[in-house]
Amino acid sequence: MGKQDHTGRLRSEVDALVAQNQFQAAVLRLRDLWQYESGTAAAAFVVSRFEQLRNKIPLANVRLAILRSFTVEPLVPLLRAEAFCAGINVSVQLGDFNAYGQEILDSQSMLYRFAPDLVILAVQTTDLAPDLWRDYAQLSDEAVSEAVSRVAGTMQQWINEFRARSQAALILHNLEQPSGPALGVLDGQREPSQSGAIHRINQDLRRAVSATRGVYLLDYDALVARHGRVSWRDERKWLMARLPIAADKLIHMAREWLRFLMPLAGKSAKALVVDLDNTLWGGVIGEDGFSGIRLNAEYPGAAYQALQRAILDLTRKGILIAIASKNNPDDAMEVLEKHPEMLLRPKHFAAIRISWNDKVQGLREIASELNIGIDSLAFLDDNSYEREQVRAILPEVTVLALPEDPLGYASAVRDHPVFERLNLSEEDRQRAGFYAEQRERSRAEQSFASKEDFYRYLEQEAEIVPAEASTLTRISQLTQKTNQFNVSTRRYTEQQIADFTRRPGWQVLSIRVRDRFGDHGLVGIAITQDQDEVCEIDTFLLSCRVIGRTVETALLAHIAHSARCRGCKRLAGWFLPTKKNLPARDFFRQHGFEQSKQNGNGTLWSLDLTRQEIAAPEWVRVKTLAGESQ
Amino acid sequence: MTSTILDQIRIMASDLFGVPAERISAASTPETIETWDSIQHLNLVLALEEKFGVQLSPEEIEQMKSIGEVAELVEGKLQGTPN
């Protein structure tokens, strides 16, 4: 059998590459193998080989605790294989069967001692509400509503108790409906009903989750429905091994978990770069012409419109879109601007590269124009040659696999976990517009003789205020995503940020920048801690959108000034170098700091506040809670 | 046919038990392969069900005592003959 030869060969190739220290190539082969054969056996192989590679390749680390009422052991290798292929090393701790109640309540439990980044609470309807699941037909109306409040109350209590003891993210499975109601079609005719009761619990749960930071709902009921209730559950395995999910459905559970892991591990694409011919429309514009390409609401043009809609939806999650196409620019732009069936227009794209250069170069240019890392790009192209070239030369780019049939393109985009987001800030919703403003700024910049003249013309205004409830999402997001102008690259969850704001001696400041072209939104953060007359900068970062416009100096000057007012004698901060934060390397030196300590991780810089000042740039108007300056 | 299914199951067992496929034969049992414990037995069942699209009953799962028996069981299922 050809397939068997292929998987056997991929395995041998992986082992040969590992033996030759060709780690990156081994990772590519492992991803191929996993894409080709994502099952229980391959998962064991993929995980064991990634374990060998773990210290040789860059991986994000996530500690995951799973609290459960059923057997999840076979899911763990599937999840770890998926996560490894996405660049994440997940360490998993499993709670004992049905011990989740005690584990959550006991601050000394195995759960909290493990210090997880993320906790999944996977509990089934049959365990939590056996009366509603199994005995529904025998219940009185009062017993039904009592069961609903009992279960919803219990879950709410878990959320509260957990949050009181841990800052980790919590993911709660909601409750699945039985595949057939106990009373048959009669269930649809009554109030209360069995399905209505479970639905009410899930609604309460949704409310509870949205009211608590860092607690997320996994819509298990919808997941089961999507894959078919009848075939999802395996009653025999449930009775035999407490495993309720059928063998061929386990991978879907693992992938659903991955959707939460990816954004929490900072593995999110910031931009999707798309091809044009045979991707955004059917056919080749240079050959088929404006009226010959396939794009409309009927078959086969509908497949391409569906893809465009999926891409447009990404922009509402704050994901930028860009074009890399080998084409005659005039032909392609005419379609983008004028084709009546196009949903995507030039204004939606943050960067456009239409030329005869190769895609690798296009992707590099786009990353640099948008000021984001190559590893923040996802790439969509119908041409498998282009995809393979990008995978081989730029392995850090997420290359989307596309099915043969264009009707599958839209779901390839919608279902990809690299586009998952757990929170949405106001900045996310407006991001596409920021880049259009940015293009105008760059144009203006070129018309000024000196930088200072340009800064004056910009009329920048910086609002520096302490973190508040409404900005925690954005602040945490910036610590997770900012790689370049970031002195310490410390990643924090919303809960951790909230915790800092309550600690004595700690300050969490955010900076919002506006100029004559528009509002950049909340683009920078500084976190400081006062101790023994030293104000230490824990975090200082600025979004790439505003680097080099001197607002970083305005923020630092504000910090120095207020530290002095609080009686601090020194201002200090570590610069911890990473592969990406070169733009922040000279930040402290340039503002008069001196090196005071050095170790394997970085350099501690220090400024004597009793003798030195940091001058705020005259062209940035600063607004603080205390009022305006300049 | 026999050799093909057996070979596929040997690769599967090699993945799950962390033992090179060359060291796995029809005669391999939980006694000869140290890592073939109850968790891996469940994983083997799941891998077989996934890959061959078969359903194994609790009785059949209990009776799988060697790689050869596993291969025979799967072959029987794929040929639609009762086991």
The residue of chain B nearest to residue A245, with distances taken between CA atoms, is: B46
* CA-based nearest distance B36→chain A, Å: 13
Chain B residues lying within 8 Å of A243, measured CB to CB: 42
Q: What is the mean pLDDT of residues A158-171?
A: 94
**Predicted pLDDT at A429:** 75
> At residue A105, does pLDDT exceed 80?
yes
pLDDT-derived band at B2, boundaries 50, 70, 90: very low
> At residue A360, does pLDDT exceed 70?
yes
A12/A22 Cα distance (integer angstroms): 14
The residue of chain A nearest to residue B55, with distances taken between CA atoms, is: A247
- What is the count of residue pairs from A and B with beta carbons less than 8 Å apart? 58
Interface test with A, best of B4, B8, B15, B54 (most A CBs within 10 A): B15
A278/A586 Cα distance (integer angstroms): 46
Percent of chain B whose predicted confidence (pLDDT) is above 70: 93
* CA-based nearest distance B58→chain A, Å: 7
The residue of chain A nearest to residue B11, with distances taken between CA atoms, is: A8
pLDDT digits (tens, 9 = 90+) for A256-283: 999 999 999 989 999 999 999 999 999 9
pLDDT digits (tens, 9 = 90+) for A34-61: 999 999 999 999 999 999 999 999 999 9
- Mark yes or no for CB contact B18/A48 under 8 Å: yes
**Predicted pLDDT at B45:** 97
> At residue B83, does pLDDT exceed 90?
no
Q: How buried is residue A313: exposed, middle or buried, by Cβ count under 10 Å (0-12/13-18/19+)? A: middle
**Predicted pLDDT at A312:** 95
Interface test with A, best of B35, B50, B57 (most A CBs within 10 A): B50
Q: CB distance from A44 to chain B under 8 Å? A: yes
A555/A430 Cα distance (integer angstroms): 24
Window 458-497 of A, Cβ < 8 Å to B: none
pLDDT digits (tens, 9 = 90+) for A298-342: 999 999 999 999 999 999 899 999 999 999 999 999 999 999 999
A547 vs A501, higher pLDDT: A501
pLDDT-derived band at A8, boundaries 50, 70, 90: confident
pLDDT-derived band at A3, boundaries 50, 70, 90: low
* CA-based nearest distance A170→chain B, Å: 27
Chain B residues lying within 8 Å of A236, measured CB to CB: 55, 57-58
Nearest beta carbon to residue A247 from set B4, B12, B49: B49
Chain A residues lying within 8 Å of B58, measured CB to CB: 236, 239-240
B83/B75 Cα distance (integer angstroms): 10
Q: What is the mean pLDDT of residues A391-396?
A: 93
**Predicted pLDDT at B1:** 43
* CA-based nearest distance A26→chain B, Å: 17
- Mark yes or no for CB contact A248/B49 under 8 Å: yes
Chain A residues lying within 8 Å of B4, measured CB to CB: 1, 4
* CA-based nearest distance A72→chain B, Å: 11
Chain B residues lying within 8 Å of A7, measured CB to CB: 11
pLDDT digits (tens, 9 = 90+) for B58-67: 999 999 999 9
**Predicted pLDDT at A527:** 97
pLDDT-derived band at A437, boundaries 50, 70, 90: confident
Q: How many helices and strands (H and E) does chain B possess?
A: 4, 0
> At residue A401, does pLDDT exceed 50?
yes
Q: What is the mean pLDDT of residues B3-8?
A: 84
> At residue A630, does pLDDT exceed 70?
no
Q: CB distance from A247 to chain B under 8 Å? A: yes
**Predicted pLDDT at A428:** 80
Sheet holding A594-598, edge to edge: A594-598, A603-608, A570-575, A534-542, A518-531, A506-515, A460-466, A620-624, A627-629
- Residue A3, SS3? helix
- Interface of chain B toward chain A, CB-CB under 8 angstroms: 4, 7-8, 11-12, 15-16, 18, 21, 39, 42-43, 45-47, 49-51, 53, 55, 57-58, 61
B69/B63 Cα distance (integer angstroms): 8
Kindly provide the b/e burial profile for residues A572-585, where b requires at least 16 CB atoms within 10 angstroms of the residue's own CB.
bbbbbeeeebebbe
pLDDT-derived band at A628, boundaries 50, 70, 90: low
> At residue A366, does pLDDT exceed 60?
yes
Chain A residues lying within 8 Å of B21, measured CB to CB: 8
pLDDT-derived band at A413, boundaries 50, 70, 90: very high
- Mark yes or no for CB contact B39/A247 under 8 Å: no
Maximum separation of any 2 CA atoms in chain B, in Å: 33
- Mark yes or no for CB contact B46/A236 under 8 Å: no
Q: Are A533 and A569 within 8 A, CB to CB?
A: yes
Nearest beta carbon to residue A250 from set B7, B18, B46: B46
Chain B residues lying within 8 Å of A248, measured CB to CB: 49-50, 53
**Predicted pLDDT at A269:** 95
pLDDT-derived band at A451, boundaries 50, 70, 90: confident
Angle at A335 between CA A330 and CA A338, to 5 degrees: 110
pLDDT digits (tens, 9 = 90+) for A556-569: 999 999 999 999 99
Q: CB distance from A52 to chain B under 8 Å? A: no
A560/A526 Cα distance (integer angstroms): 12
Mean confidence (pLDDT) of chain A: 93
pLDDT digits (tens, 9 = 90+) for A583-620: 999 999 999 999 999 999 999 999 999 999 999 999 99
> At residue A100, does pLDDT exceed 90?
yes
